[in-house]
Amino acid sequence: MTRRVRIGFFLPALAGFAALLVWAYTGIPSFGDYQGPYGFVINRISTPLRHMDNAVNSTTYDIRGIDTMGEEFILFAAVIGVVLLLRDEEGRSEDVEDDTGSDVIRIFGTLAIGAAVLVGLWLVSFGFVTPGGGFQGGVAIASGALLLYLVAGYREWSAFGDETKLDPIKGIGGGGYVVIGLAALVSGMPFLHNFFSGGVTGSVWSGGSAGFVNWSAGIEVAAALVILFSEFLEKYIVPIAKSR
Amino acid sequence: MSFLPYAVAAWVCIVGLYGIVTSRHLIHLALCLTVMQSSTYLLLLAIGYVKHGGPPIYKGVKLGTTSVDPVVQALTLTDIVVSVTVIALILALALDVHKQAGTVDPDEIREMSG
């Protein structure tokens, strides 16, 4: 099938799809006229019942924690796929000279690394109080790690982006999530039930066992993204090392 | 009655789909897929919006204040992070295709495999 024929087939199909979408959208409640009860119920119960100010994260890590576990497994599987495709048997290339020349970038970049990691840790720890949580905090921590490569160079990064250390950390994050769920199960409660729903509302110690779920998600996301950066950087660095 | 956010979601979805079908480069194709995926975030957040509702976070806010649906926000925030890793997998596959076939144009790859 040539390109022209394919687009010829596609355009009528696209018009049909667009018509279906318009038809479907005219059937749903108009914008701002929210009907479903779940949002209102969760907004009502998350603070009195779970001691969480952030209703979004009480959904993510507690009330619908099992959905998040599924998402974590997708993330886990995707990272394993990337590692299988990109990781070489040859091992790491250590003798790469791609250091940053500019002192300004070094100074401000080093400050930015500290800031990014600190913001990340803050986002995870106060996930049940203010906007944030394990997913967002994990991304911030991982971006701090990537900044290390940008401001210092590959040699400094490779000490940190070491897969023999990162793979177990990622496993602990993903496995910890399931272990917390199973801990509730062996105590005679439903899987991933929040089994000590105590804590002080509005503090780091809020959220009960969902706090551990939050941290395991943060650890897994941070480690997973650093592994991704590490694999793609290695793929980019090896040709540089060989050309010297 | 306002359907504008839904219309935007539909438009973003269709633009992304058009990009995927007419793509001449695997990396462009992967980015079109993220554009299409973003339309689901728009649709989810639009459905969860409550008129004059605040964010569903009650730090310093009286309980019972009108707030938007937290469920769709939870779905969106987890999927944004997960989609990044899935895109990384697609890009890794694109790198592999480039190594095997020497091209990243979807049409040429098919011609080569004959």
With beta carbons less than 8 A apart as the criterion, state whether A196 and A213 touch: no
Q: Which whole number is the average pLDDT over B19-42?
A: 93
The pLDDT of residue A74 is: 93
The pLDDT of residue A89 is: 65
Q: Which whole number is the average pLDDT over A59-72?
A: 90
pLDDT for residue A122 is more than 50: yes
Q: Given CB atoms, is A39 within the 8 Å cutoff of chain B? A: yes
With beta carbons less than 8 A apart as the criterion, state whether A97 and A242 touch: no
Angle value at C-alpha A54, between A53 and A60, nearest 5 degrees: 135
Q: Given CB atoms, is A59 within the 8 Å cutoff of chain B? A: yes
Site of tokens 């897994």: A220
Any domain includes A31:
no
Other C-beta atoms lying within 10 Å of the C-beta of residue A110: 14
Q: Given CB atoms, is A19 within the 8 Å cutoff of chain B? A: no
Any domain includes A51:
yes
Q: Which whole number is the average pLDDT over A186-192?
A: 85
Any domain includes A19:
no
The pLDDT of residue B87 is: 94
Q: Name the DSSP class of A116.
A: H
Distance CA A112, CA A150 (A): 11
Q: Which residue has the higher pLDDT, B65 or B87?
A: B87
Q: Which whole number is the average pLDDT over A153-182?
A: 85
Q: Given an 8 Å threshold on Cβ–Cβ distance, is A60 in contact with B4?
A: no
Type and span of the H or E element at B104: none
Residue of A nearest to B57 (CA): A54
Any domain includes A14:
no
Q: Which residues of A fall within a CB distance of 8 Å from B42?
A: none
The pLDDT of residue A197 is: 65
pLDDT for residue A142 is more than 50: yes
Type and span of the H or E element at A2: none
Q: Given CB atoms, is A231 within the 8 Å cutoff of chain B? A: yes
The pLDDT of residue A215 is: 93
With beta carbons less than 8 A apart as the criterion, state whether B2 and A32 touch: yes
Any domain includes A86:
yes
pLDDT for residue B32 is more than 90: yes
* b/e sequence B15-52, b meaning 16+ C-beta within 10 Å: ebbbbbbebeebebbbbbbebbbbbbbbbbbbbbbbee
The pLDDT of residue A198 is: 67
Other C-beta atoms lying within 10 Å of the C-beta of residue A138: 27
pLDDT for residue A120 is more than 60: yes
> What percentage of residues in chain B have a pLDDT greater than 70?
95
Q: Given CB atoms, is B48 within the 8 Å cutoff of chain A? A: yes
Q: Which residues of A fall within a CB distance of 8 Å from B55?
A: 131
pLDDT for residue A238 is more than 80: no
Q: Where are the domains of chain B?
A: 4-113
Residue B42: both structure tokens together: 């728009």
Q: Compute CA distances A80 → A68, A146, A215, B83, whole Å.
A: 18, 19, 21, 14
Instruction: Give A 67-86 residues with CB within 8 A of chain B.
Output: 67-68, 71, 74-75, 78-79, 81-82, 85-86
pLDDT band at B114, cuts 50/70/90?
very low
pLDDT for residue B106 is more than 50: yes
Any domain includes A231:
yes
The per-residue pLDDT of chain B, averaged, comes to: 88
Q: Which residue has the higher pLDDT, A244 or A212?
A: A212
Distance CA A192, CA A121 (A): 24
- Look at A57-61, A91-95, A237-241, B91-95 and tell me which has the smallest mean pLDDT: A91-95
pLDDT for residue B113 is more than 60: no
Any domain includes A146:
yes
Q: Which whole number is the average pLDDT over A208-225?
A: 91
Q: Given CB atoms, is B54 within the 8 Å cutoff of chain A? A: no
> What percentage of residues in chain A have a pLDDT greater than 70?
95
Structural domain boundaries, residue A186 = 36-242
Residue of A nearest to B23 (CA): A3
The pLDDT of residue A117 is: 95
Total number of domains constituting chain A: 1
Any domain includes A127:
yes
Q: State the CATH architecture for B4-113.
A: Orthogonal Bundle (1.10)
Instruction: Give A 163-192 residues with CB within 8 A of chain B.
Output: none
pLDDT tens digits for range A35-55: 888 888 988 888 888 888 889
Q: Given an 8 Å threshold on Cβ–Cβ distance, is B3 in contact with A30?
A: yes
pLDDT tens digits for range A68-105: 999 999 999 999 999 999 887 666 666 677 777 788 88
Backbone angles phi, psi at A206, to 5 degrees: -110, 155
The nearest CA of chain A is from the CA of B48 a distance in Å of 6
Q: Given an 8 Å threshold on Cβ–Cβ distance, is A22 in contact with B50?
A: no
Q: Given an 8 Å threshold on Cβ–Cβ distance, is B7 in contact with A139?
A: no
Q: Given CB atoms, is B109 within the 8 Å cutoff of chain A? A: no
